[in-house]
Amino acid sequence: MQRPASHDGGAWWDLWFHVVVGLFRQIGALGRELRGSRGRYVVIAIPMLWLLAFFLAPLLVVLKISVAERTGGVPPYSDLVAIGEQGLIQINLSLKGYATLLTDPLYVESYLNSLQFASISTLGCLLLGYPIAYGIARATPAWRMFLLVLVVLPFWTSSLLRTYALIGLLRDNGMVNQLLMAIGATDAPIRLIDTPFAVYVGITYNYLPFMVLPLVANLMRLDFTLLQAAADLGAKPWRAFLSVTLPLSLPGIIAGSLLVFIPAVGEYVIPALLGGPEALSIGSRIWEDFFNARNYPLAAAVAVAMLVLIVVPMLLFEASQERRAEKEAQRA
């Protein structure tokens, strides 16, 4: 690549020229690397660097804030490392936020409520999503695509709008109460909004596709001739389901449950809109501490504790699954 003749802005043109040449050289080097034996490591390294930059780095920032002291300045927390009067490096660590989580009943109740909301909603998604996924997996290819579109169709609108729609359905003069009174099931409106029941309905409705899609992917790989073989051996349909279908679909159940449970634990919008002020959750406490009380260290400690509460059981479960797989491989 030849350098064009320089004009009045010679310094600027030289800089631009070297940048373009360097960019083409880097692209060429990357192409040669991908064609080489180490290309697969480069392909793996790119998403790993992305995770390090946009997951690990913010997590370290939150962890740093969680062990800082609350101050009245901007930002409203102290520096982790400071230089003393005599030039000595001082490390300022405070565990007041974590101590508050263990001693303040409000935060303990918030954690328990969030776990309850997530657990019951995950169970609801499983009970509703499994029959849907089974029907989609057994459908013809043309119908299967149409049904999958119906499952993901709610994602085309904001979850906030869908939650507001539920408010219109569940309020005292909403469609649900009007239907119940029309069929004679009740004489007066039933209190549905601002209750834990509304939170369960909202989370189940918003997160149901996260349960259905992994189950469909798992059930589509299932050999349904095994069910016919079980029937030929005299097994009743429910017995064949419990002995064949359910165990083989367990990976899909686990994947879908994790996809629903993990974000549901930290859900803020749905409990705030459908559960009312009494529906304490971890998400609401983080919002309150960050934006209203401006207690950044406490809010960061709540977020870190929630992450540990979710990640540690997952790691233990994954380790137990690996040990189980190793034992089965040794037996084989």
For position 260, which CATH number holds?
1.10.3720.10
Q: Return contacts of 187-196, CB within 8 angstroms, 24+ apart.
A: 193/167, 193/274, 193/276, 194/274, 194/275, 194/276, 194/278, 194/279, 195/275, 195/276, 196/116, 196/117, 196/275, 196/279
Residues 227 and 282 in one domain: yes
Residues 38 and 177 in one domain: no
Is 71 among the domain residues?
no
Residues 209 and 285 in one domain: yes
Domain boundaries, position 262: 104-294
Is 155 among the domain residues?
yes
Q: Which token pair is 8?
A: 């009045």
Chain position carrying tokens 């999503």: 129
Q: Which token pair is 95?
A: 């565990």
Residues 173 and 56 in one domain: no
Residues 35 and 139 in one domain: no
Question: Residue 208: pLDDT band by 50, 70, 90 thresholds?
Answer: very high
Is 80 among the domain residues?
no
Residues 156 and 215 in one domain: yes
Q: Which token pair is 124?
A: 């609801």
Is 3 among the domain residues?
no
Is 158 among the domain residues?
yes
What does the pLDDT average to over 291-298? 87
**pLDDT > 90? residue 215:** yes
Residues 57 and 109 in one domain: no
CB 297 within 8 Å of CB 66: yes
The contacts of residue 261 (CB under 8 Å, 6+ apart) are 118, 119, 122
- 216-264 confidence digits (pLDDT tens): 999 988 887 887 888 878 888 888 888 888 888 898 999 899 899 988 9
What does the pLDDT average to over 94-98? 86
* pLDDT at 157 (0 to 100): 84
Neighbours of 279 (CB within 10 A): 21
Q: Which token pair is 40?
A: 């697969």
Residues 19 and 150 in one domain: no
Residues 111 and 163 in one domain: yes
- 127-166 confidence digits (pLDDT tens): 999 999 999 998 888 888 889 889 888 888 888 888 889 9
- For residue 25, what is the enclosing H or E element? helix 10-35
Is 208 among the domain residues?
yes
Question: Residue 12: pLDDT band by 50, 70, 90 thresholds?
Answer: very low
Domain count for the chain, please give it.
2
* pLDDT at 8 (0 to 100): 46
Q: What is the pTM of this model?
A: 0.77
Residues 134 and 187 in one domain: yes
More confident residue, 14 or 213: 213
Is 200 among the domain residues?
yes
Is 91 among the domain residues?
no
- Round to whole Å and give the CA distance between 197 and 191: 10
Residues 239 and 165 in one domain: yes
Residues 137 and 51 in one domain: no
* pLDDT at 271 (0 to 100): 92
